[in-house]
Amino acid sequence: MVYLALFQKSFQRMIAYRGATIAGVLTNFFFGLLRAYVFIAVYQASGRAYIGGYSLRDAVTYTALTQALIASINLWSWWEVLRLIRSGDITTDLTKPYHFFSSWLARDLGRAMFQLIFRGAPILIFFPLFFELTWPGSLLHWAFALLSILLAIMISFTWRFFVNLAAFWFVDAMGIGRFAYLTMTFMSGFTVPVAYFPDWLKFAVNLTPMPSMVNTPIEVYLGIVRGTDLWVALGVQIFWFVLMTLLCEFLYRRGVQKLIIQGG
Amino acid sequence: MALIEVRELSKHFYVAKHRRGVGGALRNLFSREYTIVRAVDNISFQIERGELIGYLGPNGAGKSTTIKMLTGILVPSGGTLSVSGLVPWKQRTEHTRRIGVVFGQRTNLWWDLPVIESLDLLKYIYKVPHERFQQNLRNFEKLLGLEEFLNTPVRSLSLGQRMRADLAGALLHDPDLVFLDEPTIGLDVVAKERIRSFIKEINTQRGVTVILTTHDLGDVEKLCKRVMMIDHGRLLLDGPLSELQERFGGERELVVDFAEDYPEISIDGASVIAREGQRVTYRFGRGMSASELISKLASRYRILDLTVREPEIENTVRRIYEERLLSHTSSAIREK
Ligand SMILES: Nc1ncnc2c1ncn2[C@@H]1O[C@H](COP(=O)(O)OP(=O)(O)O)[C@@H](O)[C@H]1O
Ligand SMILES: [Mg+2]
C-alpha cells in the first residue's frame, strides 16, 4: 500500500541524519537532567510530597518522558508542508495520485517512529542511571501508554499541518507558525504538567487539543489517569484527531483551490 | 477525438503592484493595484496520440503555465481543455494516474534516499505490478545508464544524473502521455544527448506521446517533427520545423567557386557579401529560388563548385522573437 511505503521510506530516510540523531539525544538528555534537578529543588523547597497529584518521582519521570518525546512529537520545528507550498514544490505532490494529508501523515509517522526509537528510547534507558523513575506496572498498561503516545503524535501532526497550511494565505506564515509552536509548547503541558496550572488556565487548555499532544500520554503512562478516566482520555484524543483532521482537510482543499486558481 | 484538445485557452495572473517606501506600504494595506499578466493568451491546438511535440519559447513565454493547466495543477482563466477525455483540474487524481510529469527545476525523488528507493516508492504510488516494474527498470537502466548511481542518495547526484533518474521515474508506470518541462535545462552537451535519445526512444518504441518544453533549439531540431512556438502567451506558430525555416528562414547564402577571376560578378536579386580570390559568397532572399540563381550564374560564368547555406535555425528563431515577425499585442495591461 502506498501509505505503508511512504511510512517505511520516511523511516529509512531518517537514517541519513545519524549525526543529528546522536547530537539530539545528548542535548535532550542533558536538558532532561537539568529540568529534573529544578523539580527536585522545587519539591524540596515546598516541603510537599505531592504537587498537583504528582509525587517527586512522577515529576522526574514526567521530565524524562517529555524529553524522550520531544523529537517524535516534534514540538518546535516542522515546516515541510510550509516549504512545499512556498517553494512551489507542492506541484510534485499534486501530480501524484495519492491523498495529500494522508500521505504526509504516513511520512510523519515514519519519521516519528524512527525518533521514538532512536531519540526517545535512549533517554528512558539512561535516565535511571541518575534518578528513579516510575514504570507502567503491566503489559496492558504499557500498551495503553504507547497507544496514547501514538495518538499524541498523530494529533501533533494535525496541529503542525494546520500551522503549515498558513503558507497558502500568508507570506509571513513562518512567523505565525513560530508563535503557534511556542504556545503549543506551554499549553500542551510540555514545560510543566497541566496539573500545575491555575484552575482557570487548566480549564482553558482543556478546551483545546494541546494537552492531548503531551500531557495525556504522560499521565496515562504514570497511571495518574486510570480506570474510566483512561477511556475518557483516549476518547478525547481520538475526538481531537478526527476534528483536526477534518479541519485540515477542509483548509487544505480551500488552499489548493486558491493555488490552482490564482497560481500561488 | 484527439488525445489533447485545447480551445481558446487562457491563464491570467493578477499580480499585486508593489508601491515603494513607507507611504507606499501603507497605501498597499488599503488599496491594491493589480497588473494582469496574460501568461497564456487564447491558444488553441490539438495533439494526437504518439506525437512528439516541441513546445518552444523564451523564458517567461508561458510554457510552464500551459503545462500546469494540462497536468491539472492550474485552472484556466478561459477556454476549454481535455486530455484523453478528462478535464485535468477537475479530475486531477484520475488524470495523474495516466500521465508522467517532469518539471526540470523540481524533482520527484526523495533527496535523502538512494535513487532506487525513490523509484521503488513510485511503484507503490502508481500501483505498478512488481514484474512490470522490474522490466521497466531494467530497460531504463540500460537506456539512461542508471546503474552507476542507483544506490547514491539523490542529493549527491549531478544535475544530469538527477534528470535521468527523474525521467525514469516519470515513465515507470507506463503512462501514455508525458510532459517534460525543460528536461535539458542547465545540462552539458553529453547529458543533453543522452536525454534526447531516451525521449526519442520512448516515443518511437513505446509510442508514448511526449510534450517537451524547451528554450533549447537543439532539443527541437533533434527530436520534434512538430513545433509549437509561444511568446508572451500567444501561440506564434504550430507546424513542422521545415515550415519554420521556409517562412522565416530569411536570407540564404550561396558560395561559388568560379573557374577564373571574373572582374564583374554582380547579379540581380543577390548581393555579394564576401570575395576571396575565385570564391564568392552571395546572399539572396526567399524571393528567388537557389536554382534560379545558380542558372543565372551558370549562364554567364564557368563554375567549379557551389554550396547553398541555410541559415541556422537558431538565428531564424532569434529573428522571429527579436524582429517580431509574428505580431502579437502587448501582453501586460494595467488595470485597477
Ligand atoms: N503564479 C504566478 N503568478 C504571477 N505570474 C506568474 C505566475 N506564474 C507565471 N507567471 C508569469 O507568467 C508568465 C509565463 O510564465 P511561465 O509559464 O512560467 O513561462 P515559461 O515556462 O515559458 O518560462 C511570466 O511572465 C511569469 O512571470
Ligand atoms: Mg518554465
Residue A135 three-state SS = coil
Q: Which residues of A92-120 are buried (b: 16+ CB within 10 A; e: fewer)?
A: bbbbbbbebbebbbbbbbbbbbbbbebbb
Q: Which atom of ligand 1 is nearest to the CA of B182?
A: 21
Mean pLDDT of B187-207: 93
Ligand (nearest to CA of B229): 1
B335 pLDDT tier (thresholds 50, 70, 90): very low
pLDDT digits over B84-131, tens only? 999 999 999 999 999 999 998 899 999 999 999 999 999 999 999 999
List of E strands, chain A: 50-51, 54-55
Q: Using CA atoms, how far apart are residues A36 and A134, in angstroms rounded to an integer?
A: 14
Residues of A in contact with B71 (CB under 8 A): 95
High-pLDDT (> 70) share of chain B, %: 94
CB contact under 8 A, A89 and B120: no
pLDDT digits over B135-159, tens only? 999 999 999 999 999 999 999 999 9
pLDDT (0 to 100) of residue B328: 46
In short, whether B39's Cβ falls inside 6 Å of ligand 1 is: yes
B246 pLDDT tier (thresholds 50, 70, 90): confident
pLDDT digits over B295-310, tens only? 999 999 999 999 988 7
> Using CB atoms, which residue from B74, B101, B110 is nearest to A13?
B110
Which one is predicted more confidently, B268 or B7? B7
pLDDT digits over A163-203, tens only? 999 999 998 899 999 999 998 889 999 999 999 999 999 99
pLDDT (0 to 100) of residue B326: 58
A138 touches chain B (CB under 8 A): no
> How far is A94 from chain B, CA to nearest CA, in Å?
7
CB contact under 8 A, B125 and A5: yes
A16 touches chain B (CB under 8 A): yes
Residues of A in contact with B125 (CB under 8 A): 2, 5, 96-98
In the block, residue with C-alpha cell 526512444: B201
Joined together, the cell numbers standing for residue B93 give 487524481
A44 touches chain B (CB under 8 A): no
B153 touches chain A (CB under 8 A): yes
Mean pLDDT of B262-277: 88
> Using CB atoms, which residue from B13, B73, B153 is nearest to A95?
B73
| Residue B116 identity | I
In short, whether B105's Cβ falls inside 6 Å of ligand 1 is: no
pLDDT (0 to 100) of residue B332: 34
High-pLDDT (> 90) share of chain A, %: 92
B329 pLDDT tier (thresholds 50, 70, 90): very low
CB contact under 8 A, B96 and A97: yes
pLDDT (0 to 100) of residue B221: 82
A254 touches chain B (CB under 8 A): no
In short, whether A263's Cβ falls inside 6 Å of ligand 1 is: yes
> How far is A176 from chain B, CA to nearest CA, in Å?
19
CB contact under 8 A, A5 and B120: yes
pLDDT (0 to 100) of residue B98: 94
Q: Using CA atoms, how far apart are residues B302 and B276, in angstroms rounded to an integer?
A: 17
B127 touches chain A (CB under 8 A): yes
Longest dimension (CA), chain B: 81
Q: What DSSP string describes A154-206?
A: HHHHHHHHHHHHGGGT-TTHHHHHHHHHHHHHHHTTSSS-GGGS-HHHHHHHT
> How far is A101 from chain B, CA to nearest CA, in Å?
14
Residues of B in contact with A106 (CB under 8 A): none
Joined together, the cell numbers standing for residue B7 give 480551445
Which one is predicted more confidently, A154 or B285? A154
In short, whether A264's Cβ falls inside 6 Å of ligand 1 is: yes
Predicted TM-score (pTM) of the model is 0.87
In short, whether B65's Cβ falls inside 6 Å of ligand 1 is: yes
pLDDT (0 to 100) of residue B1: 81
Mean pLDDT estimate for chain B: 88
pLDDT (0 to 100) of residue B320: 74
Residue A92 three-state SS = helix
Joined together, the cell numbers standing for residue A260 give 490552482
B257 pLDDT tier (thresholds 50, 70, 90): very high
pLDDT digits over A13-35, tens only? 999 899 999 999 999 999 999 99
CB contact under 8 A, B73 and A94: yes
In the block, residue with C-alpha cell 503491566: A138
B203 has pLDDT over 80: yes
Q: What DSSP string describes B295-332?
A: HHHHHHS-EEEEEEEPPPHHHHHHHHHHTTSS----SE
Burial of A174: CB neighbours in 10 Å, binned 0-12, 13-18, 19+: middle
pLDDT (0 to 100) of residue B336: 28
Which one is predicted more confidently, B125 or B264? B125
Output the CA B39–ligand 1 centroid distance in Å: 6
Which one is predicted more confidently, B75 or B308? B75
Residue nearest atom 5 of ligand 1, based on CA coordinates: B13
In short, whether B26's Cβ falls inside 6 Å of ligand 1 is: no
A88 touches chain B (CB under 8 A): yes
pLDDT (0 to 100) of residue B20: 77
B244 has pLDDT over 90: no
pLDDT (0 to 100) of residue B253: 87
In the block, residue with C-alpha cell 501582453: B331
Residues of A in contact with B83 (CB under 8 A): none
B319 has pLDDT over 70: yes
First to last CA, chain A: 31
pLDDT (0 to 100) of residue B324: 64
Q: Using CA atoms, how far apart are residues A100 and B223, in angstroms rounded to an integer?
A: 36
B96 touches chain A (CB under 8 A): yes
Mean pLDDT of B167-171: 96
B334 pLDDT tier (thresholds 50, 70, 90): very low
Q: Is residue B224 within 8 Å of residue B54, measured between CB atoms?
A: yes
Residue nearest atom 4 of ligand 1, based on CA coordinates: B13
B174 touches chain A (CB under 8 A): no
Q: Which of A81, A72, A83 is nearest to A24 (CA)?
A: A72
Mean pLDDT estimate for chain A: 95
B325 pLDDT tier (thresholds 50, 70, 90): low
> Which chain B residue lies closest to A103 (C-alpha atoms)?
B125
